[in-house]
Structure 1
Amino acid sequence: MNGATRAGLALAAWMMGVAPAWAQGFNLSRNNNEEIQVYADGGIEWISEAQRVIARTNAKAVRGRVTVTADTLTAYYRKGASGDEIWRLDADGNVTIATPTETATGTKATYDLDKAIFVLRGQPAHLVTPTDTVTAKETIEYWEKEKMAVARGDAVATQKGKQIQAEVLTSHFKENPKGDLEMRRADAYRSVVLTTPQEQVFGERGDYNLETGVATVAGSVRIVRAGNELNGEYAHVNLNSGISKLFGTGPGGQGEGRVSGTFTPDKKDTKERRAIFRGPGAKSGDKTEKGAP
């Protein structure tokens, strides 16, 4: 191994009893009753006074089906009922948290084993399952028990050619019949963009149910398709049928009650024409552009 000494150390081999049912996916927390094994090409430093272990150079922590690798790993431990137990793991440099079917990558990570949450930082950070990809320029938090990822900073979630983007994106997962994580819903906040092969929908808040294929977008909504644009307050988008409905007001009567549309003719049409559509809620004194009904 290029002259490096490979050291291995089994840490915190404690039994936690029968584990609850969230054992699939990312599961490094104390709910997992398997021991944690830490390896490193550059050696392992055990600082007993500070109750931490530092593994350097191609460091790896393995627990069951979950493996954390990084340039440096720092494990914090404490006295438990059955001996020493690791309660936190910090990863620094070229971080990968992986199962046989899911992978999360970034530059730094903190894994709180008590709370069963890891926070991954990167530019961007990635979380990839067999069906989905989530990226974020700031952080991705993954909550083991809830099977939920919170992505912050130009966050994007993609599945089968459909994409939702926002400043903050919360992705809810489930286990499919194979035991793999699969996104079932995404909640989006601020600067929302929903993209399908046919159109883009812009707004300030969004909810995308991947099981039904239905998304709702609210707040200064724009729907753009083939050069045409609709504007309103609330949109109901069926990504399976390709049918989008736009409303001037959202649930609870939010919005001005106006829907407007700009329709651009095919580029092959040499005549300069544009149609303006104003939906329910338009004021009687509103003027339309020349040539519009």
Structure 2
Amino acid sequence: MLRPLAPVACRVPLLALLLAGGAAAQTRHNSAAPIDFGADHIELQDRANRAVLAGNVKVRQAEMTLDAARMTVAYTGQVEDGNPQVSRLDAAGGVTVTRPDQTARSTYAVYDLNRRVITMLGGVRLTQAGNTVSGGRLTINLDTGRAVIDGSAVAGGGAGTGNVTQAPNGRVTGTFSVPKRN
């Protein structure tokens, strides 16, 4: 069972958070760090083995954060050290993932903890330093650090609207910075 901290914040250890910015150059994420999350509201659905966080959801693990309007936390029903074993996190509505030098934004994000893969969908925009890449889907493998952006996924209709359409012309676009030379 999740225990509330101030107002609705919870700590779930050994949860490899859902959002690793997305570049292979990033250092490996510390998946053993505890995860803190907070929201305006939490609804525990023990019979369904899930918790629903809503309103200004913020999740933090080590140097990585995830902000969204809503998140569903699915757990296995097994408890270790007093905490449920989480298997999947689903975030929706203005999703933002931040790491020390990069930010990824999308309409939806799914983190499969068993596979250690994060998938961001809908109007994805990944920014690092002066580089920006946009597409329909971003897939991040937390074990290898490999990130792939493609244009074949969905484009969101805005935060929390639920509108999903095919990405226009299925292309990835972006801007790369050029180092200054003397």
What is the TM-score with the length of structure 2 in the denominator?
0.70
- Gap runs ≥5 in structure 2: 14-33, 155-163
Matched, 1:200 2:103: yes
Q: How does 1:80-229 map to 2 (within 5 A)?
A: 103-106=3-6, 122=7, 125-130=8-13, 131-136=34-39, 138-174=40-76, 175=78, 178=81, 180-197=83-100, 199-229=102-132
Structural RMSD (CA) = 2.6
Task: Tell me the CA shift for residue 221 of structure 1.
Answer: 0.6
In structure 2, the partner of 1:37 is none
Please point out which of 165, 175, 178 is paired with 1:265.
Answer: 178
CA contact (8 A) 1:218 1:233 kept: yes
1:145 partner SS: helix
Q: Which amino acid is 1:129 matched to? A: V
Please point out which of 149, 152, 165 is paired with 1:249.
Answer: 152
Q: How does 1:43-82 map to 2 (within 5 A)?
A: none
Give me the whole-angstrom Cα distance separating, in 1, the residues matched to 2:141 and 2:129. 17
Q: Which amino acid is 1:250 matched to? A: A
CA contact (8 A) 1:142 1:148 kept: yes
Task: Tell me the CA shift for residue 203 of structure 1.
Answer: 0.5
Identity score, percent: 26
Q: Which amino acid is 1:255 matched to? A: A
Q: In structure 2, do the counterparts of structure 1 residues 229 and 176 end up closer, same or farther at CA, with 3 Å as the change threshold?
A: farther
Give me the whole-angstrom Cα distance separating, in 1, the residues matched to 2:142 and 2:103. 11
Give me the whole-angstrom Cα distance separating, in 1, the residues matched to 2:75 and 2:63. 18
Q: Which amino acid is 1:194 matched to? A: V
Give me the whole-angstrom Cα distance separating, in 2, the residues matched to 1:165 and 1:140. 15
Residue correspondences, number: 151
2:48 partner SS: coil
- Gap runs ≥5 in structure 1: 1-25, 27-101, 107-121, 272-293
Q: In structure 2, do the counterparts of structure 1 residues 158 and 145 end up closer, same or farther at CA, with 3 Å as the change threshold?
A: farther
Q: How does 1:276-291 map to 2 (within 5 A)?
A: none
1:103 partner SS: coil
CA contact (8 A) 1:134 1:151 kept: no
CA contact (8 A) 1:218 1:234 kept: yes
For residues 144-192 of structure 1, the C-alpha deviation after alignment (integer angstroms, 9 at most, x for no partner) is 2333221111202233443322101111234355563233211011101
Q: Which structure's relative contact order is higher, taking Cα pairs within 8 Å and 6+ residues apart? A: 2
Q: In structure 2, do the counterparts of structure 1 residues 156 and 247 end up closer, same or farther at CA, with 3 Å as the change threshold?
A: same
1:104 partner SS: coil
1:212 partner SS: coil
What is the TM-score with the length of structure 1 in the denominator?
0.46
Task: Tell me the CA shift for residue 139 of structure 1.
Answer: 0.5
For residues 17-43 of structure 1, the C-alpha deviation after alignment (integer angstroms, 9 at most, x for no partner) is xxxxxxxxx2xxxxxxxxxxxxxxxxx
- Which protein shows a greater Rg? 1
Give me the whole-angstrom Cα distance separating, in 2, the residues matched to 1:198 and 1:239. 17
